[in-house]
Amino acid sequence: MITDHLYSFLNAQTAITDLVGTRMYPVILPAQPTYPALTFRDSDHELDEDFDGMGSPVESNYFIDAWGSTYAEATSVADAVRSSLNNTRGNFGGIQISRCVVTSGPIPIYEDAVEAYRITQIFLIVHKEE
């Protein structure tokens, strides 16, 4: 699944891990999180019909949220994610990526429930299904 490969790719980027360490979580933050951190989740996967067995590309949209106790901290994480992912092509830990672009964001918000800043970016990742 592309989610596992995305995690591996993000985890291999020192610009990101220098800021968040291993605090990268699928979907939601843990209870009482340490900041900065990031979360990621897929919103949809658009599959093309393929009847020739060649494996048509899949378009997956991912929300990647940068979290910080300050706006500057969240912005630093969001910038590192954008620099690492935007316009990336090649191998994501074993899956071939033909296109990866930011399609929306950064979208900043303050989350009262967790008393942290969140900056959302949406990435389109075009890849071959495994």
Q: Using CA atoms, how far apart are residues 127 and 85, in angstroms rounded to an integer?
A: 14
Query: Residue 39 in 3-state DSSP?
Result: strand
Note the pLDDT tens digit of each residue in 112-130.
999 999 999 999 999 876 5
Residue 58, pLDDT > 70, answer: yes
CB contact at 8 A, 57 and 130: no
Q: Using CA atoms, how far apart are residues 109 and 84, in angstroms rounded to an integer?
A: 22
CB contact at 8 A, 16 and 38: yes
CB contact at 8 A, 86 and 79: no
Residue 92: the pLDDT is 77
Q: DSSP readout, 76-121?
A: HHHHHHHHHHTT--EEETTEEEEEEEEEEEEEEEEETTTTEEEEEE
- Domain 2-128: top CATH class: alpha beta
Note the pLDDT tens digit of each residue in 64-112.
999 999 999 999 999 999 999 999 888 776 788 889 999 999 999 999 9
What is the reported pTM? 0.86
Domain ranges for the chain, please list them. Answer: 2-128
All residues at 6 or more sequence positions from 26 whose CB lies less than 8 Å from its CB, including other chains? 3, 7, 39, 40, 41
Higher pLDDT, 80 or 52: 80
